[in-house]
Structure 1
């Protein structure tokens, strides 16, 4: 059986429509397809309705069951990877309210158990003092008291011992003079305190020596499911296994260069002393 669908689009809705069209052109029902690919009919319905995004394995199973030609399998698989990538620009976030972004992050934190944060140039909200959090939103027009409160509320997750956190900060992220000197001392002291939590590994990468890699972005990996990558104008959210694995591998490289435990605390304390002086 052959298929001649139009050129696949570039969104989750396009993927759903493409899979639905292929099934109907093959003359198959959702029940038949669900049995062939060992999925529930509800899952097939949700995929075709755009309510849930299939992973690449799901897509390949569906296409093989429908006897799709190899060229089409490759094209739709590429569409599935695109549908697993989400761009969140800062302007849209501001229009909808920054507290909505905080709610999304809190959702990631509730549903995950292992977290990896690579911090290139700033301290992340989970590690920030109230003054640092306020400063991070000071340049955004409007009243952000709710977003600030939600950012600070999210820090409670660090005390959930069922979850494990690894933070890696470059020296620049820890020392960037984002606040006045006295406030920077408080921020650095706070990093030392958080590093003592039993479920937190906090490492720093000091400038010096030779490094064979050069990071480009701050990023976070939630379990092995989601990677978020930050830029100055927004964030990319990856759910595809290939992209998430790439960031896990990159994180592992930075772990080799980072100092943890007492070594990290000594560095943070020495940088705090420089601000004190």
Structure 2
């Protein structure tokens, strides 16, 4: 199953719903296509989730099936599906700042954050130097418009949520994250020292999964954030994935709990961070 499978499943579920609406109207797929002025295969592609319907497609579908009272809900459902899988090139077409700002609403309303990372220190725990090095590399690799300073400031400003309101943060890092050099030795030393400081906050639980942990049952997975019980965000190589299906959120929650069992906390975690600092020389 690919990381975007939830989007395909949602499209198939919408297609099934549209098939039921068509059948309830007494129309065959060929008859509906003829009335709508479509190629006769279009109904089949939509009903099987191979083609996502546009707003106009849904208006025409419900019009000819006598189900116009469902139009608004169907359009909202389709738009949510389209927004679940967003390619970076679409999200970042005007620069990095927009991508940083796009997640602010969910961050503002969330009270319980769970984050797992196998590659990078998570955003709220990053230093300015680490953020700048990271975003500069993304800008250059993807040849994006240069709004680096603004994007860095948005991410820095977002870190206020660590100190505002009754928010709880549970963060799990693979030990390898502590060794991935971002921004050079000086930036990494500052970042790891900052991590030690953040770990002392009463609303932050920081776990580190040692390199020597037994991974027979559960190996490293893609980086993800769980926001309360309502949403999971996953950063892929090509896209930003938003998961809202309850059963999939449950899968990530169980994976997080299993990963948490592999981690060390408190003094053992601090020892791993300190060892990473020492390795910088």
The TM-score normalised by the length of structure 2 is 0.73
RMSD over aligned CA atoms reads 2.7
Using the TM superposition, give the Cα deviation of residue 23 of structure 1 relative to its aligned residue in structure 2, in angstroms: 8.4
Q: Is this contact kept in 2: 1:178–1:184, CA < 8 A?
A: yes
2:197 equivalent among 183, 193, 198? 193
Q: Secondary structure at the match of 1:166?
A: strand
Q: Which runs of 5+ in 2 are unaligned?
A: 1-22, 30-42, 141-145
1:158 equivalent among 133, 157, 162? 162
Whole-Å separation in 2 of the counterparts to 1:155 and 1:240: 28
C-alpha spacing 1:23/1:103, structure 2 compared with 1 (3 Å): same
Using the TM superposition, give the Cα deviation of residue 238 of structure 1 relative to its aligned residue in structure 2, in angstroms: 1.3
Q: Secondary structure at the match of 1:138?
A: helix
Using the TM superposition, give the Cα deviation of residue 193 of structure 1 relative to its aligned residue in structure 2, in angstroms: 0.8
Aligned residue number for residue 47 of structure 1: 73
1:249 equivalent among 254, 268, 271? 254
C-alpha spacing 1:46/1:14, structure 2 compared with 1 (3 Å): closer
C-alpha spacing 1:28/1:209, structure 2 compared with 1 (3 Å): closer
The number of residues matched between the two structures is 233
Aligned: 1:231 with 2:253 = no
Counterparts of 1:111-150 in structure 2 under 5 Å? 111-139=109-137, 140-141=139-140, 142-150=146-154
Whole-Å separation in 2 of the counterparts to 1:24 and 1:131: 58
Whole-Å separation in 1 of the counterparts to 2:192 and 2:109: 29
The TM-score normalised by the length of structure 1 is 0.74
Aligned residue number for residue 61 of structure 1: none
Whole-Å separation in 2 of the counterparts to 1:258 and 1:12: 44
- Report the more deviating stretch, 192-201 or 149-158: 192-201
Aligned: 1:206 with 2:210 = yes
1:37-74 deviation per Cα after TM superposition (whole angstroms, max 9, x unaligned): xxxxxxx66424x2x43xxxxxxxxxxxxxxxxxxxxx
Whole-Å separation in 2 of the counterparts to 1:186 and 1:103: 25
Q: Is this contact kept in 1: 2:117–2:224, CA < 8 A?
A: yes
Aligned residue number for residue 2 of structure 1: 24
C-alpha spacing 1:47/1:176, structure 2 compared with 1 (3 Å): same
Q: Is this contact kept in 2: 1:226–1:238, CA < 8 A?
A: yes
Whole-Å separation in 2 of the counterparts to 1:174 and 1:113: 26
2:101 equivalent among 103, 111, 115? 103
Q: Which runs of 5+ in 1 are unaligned?
A: 31-43, 54-78
Q: Secondary structure at the match of 2:24?
A: coil
Using the TM superposition, give the Cα deviation of residue 96 of structure 1 relative to its aligned residue in structure 2, in angstroms: 2.7
